[in-house]
Amino acid sequence: MASWVGMRATATPAQVDAVARAIRSTPIIDHHAHPLLKPDALSKHPLLALTTEAHGDAIDSAVTSLPHLRAVRQLASVLGCGLTWESVVAAIEERRLDCPEDWTAECLAVIETILIDDGLDNEDDANPYPWHDDYTRSRCKRIVRIEKVAADIIRRLAKACDESSQTGDVFDDAFAEWTQQFDSYIVTALDDPDVAGFKSVICYRTGLAITNESNEVYETRARADFKDIIANFALLDFEKLQTKSLNDLIVHRTAQLIRDSASRHKKPIQFHTGLGDNDLVLSESSPSHLQKFIRMYPTVPIVLLHAGYPFTRETGYLASVYDNVYADIGEVFPCVSQDGQERILREILELCPWSKILWSTDGHWFPETYLLAVMQMREVFETVLCDYVRKGHIGWRAAIDLVRDVLFKNAKKLYRLDLDFSELEEEVGVAEGSYVSDAELLQAFLKNQPAPDFVRICWNDFTASQRMRMVPFRKFTSLLSEGKSTDIGITSAVFGLIQNDWMVPGVTATGEYRLHPDFSSLRKGPVEGHISMNGEFRELSGARVPFCPRTVLQRAVDFGADNNLSFLIGFEIEFLLVERVEPKPGSTATRYTTLTTDGHAWSVSRYFANPKISTLLRDMVAALDDMGIYVEQLHAESATGQFELILPPYPPIQAADTLLHTRDVMSALATAAGFKITLHPKPFAHACGTASHMHLSLVSPPSPASPEPNNKPEIYKPFYAGVLKRLRAVCAFTYANPASYDRASDGTWSGGRWVTWGTQNREAALRKIEGSHWEVKVMDGLANPYLAIAAVLFAGTKGLVDREPLTWGDCEIDPAKLTGNDRRELGVSEMLPGNVEEALAALREDGDMVEMMGAELVERYVAMKEF
């Protein structure tokens, strides 16, 4: 039975999508990171450090951590390599050798600017902070690490003292000189426009419990400790400032100089808190130790780095109760598991205003650290924030504000950066006013037409059965006007049912999904008084359902977009008309018969002299035209009563939506006229079969050398090579029914039985038409179009990522007529699957396809087909 879910004012799917778009496209100010290594220093530092703070022998255990395994999956998806650490390392090394600048640019592509702490150890191995300007849209700035400044001055003074007599006066003078030089450096930095702020790593040195004694007390202690360092400098092997009195002193002096500066804008001090390597004492790294220090300097902005992990709630608390404290949530991406990251974000937001939260990568040494941090942040932000929006915990507009503030505006304001977010809004596509609500979409759709009786919300299941729920229009609009959810509760067994509603073994009728209507897919029909739209399935928590075909296609489109690809897809609808006849005497069963020949043949005109058929086909085109679906061609096909209707090209999801809606319209009109439409792939044993050919064009950014973006061989050749490489597995989705393989024969214009391609070759599985416009012939009307398109796009995009060579030659004749030598020359070595079982086996064996389509989906889909 149907049930309405979420009766309080929750967000619509389109509103949630607007939040997701903001997360994916808002420019990022990375307010805390470190420099990248010079090429000759890369081998000195272990790549395993991408996801761990472990050093020495402990780092080897990182390979069994959840953060590491997640990073392997994500890097493999970007690099187009195998799902092993060894494969990832090899692919990264290949990128470093091939064109390291391009790889670095790809890793840092979405970052507006970086505020760089260049005070790490091994500074000679790293690039200077201005070097990074080539990889960000705005110039980078510097964060001054105060402990390094102090230690560098001590080294210089110790050398000078060693060359003179070491008397009390010398030590006193050296201490005075040290504090004077330190203060001078900080004052200069306060006036330097390239310095955005300061950083202390006292957490690593002597802990965050900074003394709050009077200046005289701690300065006397600091003077004595300074004397010990200078006097024994040669024996100390001095590298870092590890003395509590001196560390406390320089932190206080920095805060005092900031406090006393004439500028109204006070540059912040960042404090490392929590998460770090074994050089710190964990119990002394909680930001709660800083509370007294925070109170001493209420006008000095203080940033608590790394969410204070594992002391995240302490971080959020301090930022919420002290005006001068800000909470950073960097480094936990990618050093903590996905569940941990989601919990950290939720804990920060429990108490802390988002106007006090900033985000950073804490990227260091390797560009991959920046890439992983951004990828994981977006994934976690989308999960957590969209969940809050769906539940009504925060409005969708407020959620977009939160994203913009945390990723950009808070850092811009705190560090007084000369960046204008409004100039970037149009570029990233999240400008104010760009969102249209569901109610507004419906209102615009219904303008100048009568209100319908019913709203259909449709989906296509694993058997390619088109299913739907109907809601009376009055009920539907009342839900919208009251701000209530228009989602519908659907049993979670929905993707475990075959055509007669038997459930696949292991699937139960317990549990429920939410069917989200997508208002952007609104169409009139398919019958009078109805309007229709397509839905996507979500868990009750708002998480994506791995079995939802429309969601899988969206992932495939996103995978293409991540690799600068977009797509246009057009379908040919081949269909067979049969006519309803009177039942036999004594029977009430509906009977149908094939149409009379009447000279029916491919593209002949005389068959349209039949007034009933002519009228029906005319009405189909007119009805579709009224719905904004403009048919491009219509003609007779080869088999008796067989026709083909050609749709215009659309983006992938719209193409699948339109295909299914068009079939519904055609079927309804045919039924009303006394006919029935069938998409059976092989209705007659000795005639041409019925297909659903897919025309695919790639759209990629143009270049001066190739102004036509969809005609770049370096793009489309590896793409279609990827499709051919995985075509046997793809057939599990495009040839999804036993009857599909009755059609797949040689010499019948069906695409044949061989894995190959040919220019204008209708006997080849892939027909090249022009440039990147190719036709996928191995698909029929019994395929779920979302899954079929997704499989093709995943396979092709993976080919582009892997730079798959097009080893197949252009086959100019029927592949079945090739000699053995011809096949070797053209690289034609594999046949398409001969049946469903063989196609499912090919799918199972293709680890990349399983990973891309989703292991859960493939397991359920295979179980469904076997059942």
Question: How confident is the model at residue 708, as a pLDDT?
Answer: 52
Mean pLDDT of 798-802: 94
Residues 838 and 790 in one domain: yes
Split at pLDDT 50, 70, 90, the class of 594 is confident
Count CB atoms within 10 A of the CB of residue 323: 10
CA distances in angstroms from 348 to 246, 318, 361, 384, listed in the order given: 33, 11, 17, 12
Question: How confident is the model at residue 4, as a pLDDT?
Answer: 33
Please report which helix (H) or strand (E) contains residue 388, including its range.
Answer: helix 367-391
Residues 576 and 722 in one domain: yes
Mean pLDDT of 90-97: 89
Residue in 82, 111, 76, 79 with CA at minimum distance from that of residue 95: 79
Question: How confident is the model at residue 236, as a pLDDT?
Answer: 63
Split at pLDDT 50, 70, 90, the class of 5 is very low
Residue in 660, 617, 320 with CA at minimum distance from that of residue 464: 660
Split at pLDDT 50, 70, 90, the class of 428 is very low
CB 182 within 8 A of CB 251: no
Mean pLDDT of 392-398: 85
- Judged against a pLDDT cut of 70, whether residue 437 lies above it is answered with no
Domain that holds residue 637: 561-866
Name the average pLDDT for the chain: 87
Q: Is residue 144 part of a domain?
A: no
CATH of the domain at 763: 3.30.590.10
pLDDT tens for each residue of 527-577:
999 999 999 998 876 678 899 999 999 999 988 888 888 899 999 999 999
Q: Is residue 627 part of a domain?
A: yes
Residue that is written with structure tokens 């060579």 in the block: 805
Question: How confident is the model at residue 43, as a pLDDT?
Answer: 83
For residue 432, give both structure tokens. Answer: 């104010």
Higher-scoring residue by pLDDT: 137, 749: 137
pLDDT tens for each residue of 492-503:
888 988 888 898
For residue 757, give both structure tokens. Answer: 């391609």
- Judged against a pLDDT cut of 60, whether residue 9 lies above it is answered with no
CB 22 within 8 A of CB 403: yes
Number of helices and strands in the chain (H, E): 31, 23
Residues 778 and 862 in one domain: yes
Q: Is residue 151 part of a domain?
A: no
d(CA 507, CA 515): 19
Residues 649 and 535 in one domain: no
Split at pLDDT 50, 70, 90, the class of 222 is confident
Question: How confident is the model at residue 165, as a pLDDT?
Answer: 55
For residue 361, give both structure tokens. Answer: 């990568």
Phi and psi torsions of 384, nearest 5°: -75, -50
For residue 666, give both structure tokens. Answer: 């055609």
Residues 692 and 785 in one domain: yes
Rg (CA), the chain: 33
Q: Is residue 76 part of a domain?
A: no
- Judged against a pLDDT cut of 60, whether residue 6 lies above it is answered with no
**What percent of the chain has a predicted confidence (pLDDT) above 90?**
54
End-of-domain residue from the set 485, 518, 545: 545
Mean pLDDT of 814-843: 92
Q: Is residue 23 part of a domain?
A: no
How many domains are contained in the chain?
Answer: 2
CB proximity list for 521: less than 8 A, separation 6 or greater: 533, 534, 654, 657
Question: How confident is the model at residue 704, as a pLDDT?
Answer: 45
CATH of the domain at 482: 3.10.20.70
Of 264-268, 310-314, 391-395, the poorest mean pLDDT is in 391-395
- Judged against a pLDDT cut of 80, whether residue 608 lies above it is answered with no
Of 2-6, 246-250, 363-367, 427-431, the poorest mean pLDDT is in 2-6
End-of-domain residue from the set 484, 517, 545: 545
Of 202-211, 415-424, 825-834, the poorest mean pLDDT is in 415-424
Q: Is residue 771 part of a domain?
A: yes
Question: How confident is the model at residue 8, as a pLDDT?
Answer: 38
- Judged against a pLDDT cut of 60, whether residue 652 lies above it is answered with yes
pLDDT tens for each residue of 10-63:
566 667 878 888 898 888 999 999 999 888 888 888 888 888 888 888 888 989
Burial 694-727 (b: 16+ CB within 10 A, else e): bbbbbbbeeeeeeeebbbbeebbbbbbbbbbbbb
Residues 618 and 521 in one domain: no
d(CA 351, CA 160): 52
Mean pLDDT of 157-162: 74
Q: What is the DSSP string of 279-298?
A: TS-GGG--GGGGHHHHHH-T
| 3 state DSSP class of 183 | helix
d(CA 525, CA 506): 37
Strands (E), 73-225: 111-117, 141-145, 195-200
Q: Is residue 805 part of a domain?
A: yes
Split at pLDDT 50, 70, 90, the class of 447 is confident
Q: Is residue 541 part of a domain?
A: yes
CB 276 within 8 A of CB 285: yes
Residues 671 and 707 in one domain: yes
For residue 790, give both structure tokens. Answer: 């997704």
Angle between helices 215-231 and 146-162 (to 10 degrees): 50
d(CA 75, CA 41): 22
Residues 711 and 835 in one domain: yes
Residue in 378, 383, 304, 272 with CA at minimum distance from that of residue 28: 378
For residue 524, give both structure tokens. Answer: 């009139």
Q: What is the 3-state secondary structure (H, E, C) of 703-766?
A: ECCECCCCCCHHHHHHHHHHHHHCHHHHHHHHCCCCCHHHHCCCCCCCCCCECCEEECCCCCCE
d(CA 28, CA 359): 8
Strand order in the sheet with 530-538: 3-4, 488-491, 512-524, 530-538, 454-460, 466-472
Q: What letter would DSSP give residue 612? A: H
pLDDT tens for each residue of 177-192:
989 999 999 999 999 9
Question: How confident is the model at residue 162, as a pLDDT?
Answer: 61
| 3 state DSSP class of 55 | coil
End-of-domain residue from the set 545, 577, 594: 545
Mean pLDDT of 507-511: 85
Residues 454 and 565 in one domain: no
d(CA 143, CA 151): 16
CB proximity list for 116: less than 8 A, separation 6 or greater: 33, 34, 35, 129, 132, 140, 141, 142, 143
Residues 682 and 593 in one domain: yes
Mean pLDDT of 253-258: 95
Residues 613 and 576 in one domain: yes
Residues 525 and 601 in one domain: no
Question: How confident is the model at residue 837, as a pLDDT?
Answer: 96
